[in-house]
Structure 1
Amino acid sequence: MQRVENGETQPRGDTLQRIAKGLGVTSEELIDWKLEKNNSYLTQLNSSAISFLFFPFLGILIPLVMWISKKNEIHNINKTSKEILNFEITWCLLLSFCFIIYIGSNFYRVKSASEISPSLLLNPAFLWLSVCFLYLLNLVLILFNSSRLKSGKEALYYIRIPFLK
């Protein structure tokens, strides 16, 4: 411990785990203090998710590549990247679900012999409004969190399934 405190050696393995346990933090948090604090990169990482406007899965792919390229170099990049990716994956699943319902409702209308009125969920206008709402929600949350990250705060994506923990 004296050599670690005096800066003569770096704690590794079991020593690092014991120090972290004694301080009541994880070893990742203990090592994280050495990482560069770069809010502008985190903001760029978050803003890169806007690429969903061109193709929905780009909102996942580009932030993922940016995260992997700087994974162990920037403070708080793991937490921020996981928040962004979890939200974008959830968003893509919801968007896919809307299109599946839309295609299914059209198939139902063609195959239906009787004149049964479709429910509100099967109404094409409602489904397109849902898609527009999802796009607007994604854009607003990205812009909101970009401004939060730029000012040094954490990203807040409430609507997400925690695929990456």
Structure 2
Amino acid sequence: MENLILAKRVKELRNRRGLSQELLAENSGLGIRTIQRIENGETEPRGDTLRRLANALDSSPDEIIDWTITEDKGFLMALNLSSLGFILFPLLGILIPLILWISKKGKIKHLNHISKEILNFQISWTIIVIVTYIYFIGSMYYRISQAGDISPAILGNPVIKLSFFGFLYSYNFIQIVINTINIDKEKKVKYFPKLTII
């Protein structure tokens, strides 16, 4: 069914641009048989084929594919909430959303944008947690090696360390809740701060 909808979209865009199948094949660098198979719904263009087709139709890959993509706000909210796995173990906040994204990639509207926002934020957050943990452990070992014994003064103030980790975990939790509400209200999902990794 999805291939037929996409086939109709490609054919409509081609006709709108006043192109024959032969001219579209020539402009895209694809074979005439490939164009025919796409328009007959026998195959779905992906990757480089989709990009070439979009360029030849003076369009974007999203404009071609959006006709086959459904809206599923419930899944997007579940995807966003799945990153709460970080509470049990930081890497779960990355792995669970990644698995859900891969399972529905290219099938749900806004899925790619939201998944990238979640994953970039969770990866950045996990890096901060790991670096902070290493810093606290490293500074404790440094103090012990300098003093030669273990005393409460050498170990540092645990309240400060726990408070910092509490802040990191609370901030992550709040970001997830805010963005889940944004998805429900059909507003843009925006995680901050984050490194652009994906």
Shift in Å, 1:33: 3.4
Shift in Å, 1:15: 3.5
Task: Find the partner of 1:17 among 22, 32, 55.
Answer: 55
What fraction of aligned residue pairs are identical, expressed as a percent? 35
Provide the residue aligned with 1:61 in structure 2.
Answer: 95
> Which amino acid in the other structure matches residue 93 of structure 2?
G
Instruction: Please say if 1:135 is aligned against 2:162.
Output: no
Separation in structure 2 between the aligned mates of residue 159 and residue 18 of structure 1, nearest angstrom = 38
Shift in Å, 1:17: 2.2
After TM superposition, the score normalised by the length of structure 2 is: 0.69
Contact 1:33 1:75 in 2 (8 A): no
Provide the residue aligned with 2:106 in structure 1.
Answer: 72
**Secondary structure, in 3 states, of the residue corresponding to 1:156?**
coil
Instruction: Please say if 1:157 is aligned against 2:191.
Output: yes
Shift in Å, 1:98: 1.1
> Which amino acid in the other structure matches residue 92 of structure 1?
T
Task: Find the partner of 2:11 among 1, 4, 17.
Answer: 4
Separation in structure 2 between the aligned mates of residue 105 and residue 124 of structure 1, nearest angstrom = 13
Cα RMSD for the two superposed structures: 2.4
Structure 1 unaligned runs (5+)? 115-121
Provide the residue aligned with 2:6 in structure 1.
Answer: none
Larger Rg: 2
Separation in structure 2 between the aligned mates of residue 54 and residue 29 of structure 1, nearest angstrom = 39
In 2 relative to 1, CA 29–109 (structure 1 residues): closer, same or farther, beyond 3 Å?
A: farther
Kindly indicate whether structure 1 or structure 2 has the higher relative contact order, using CA contacts under 8 Å at least 6 residues apart: 1
Instruction: Please say if 1:84 is aligned against 2:142.
Output: no
Instruction: Please say if 1:102 is aligned against 2:136.
Output: yes
Task: Find the partner of 2:180 among 133, 146, 153.
Answer: 146
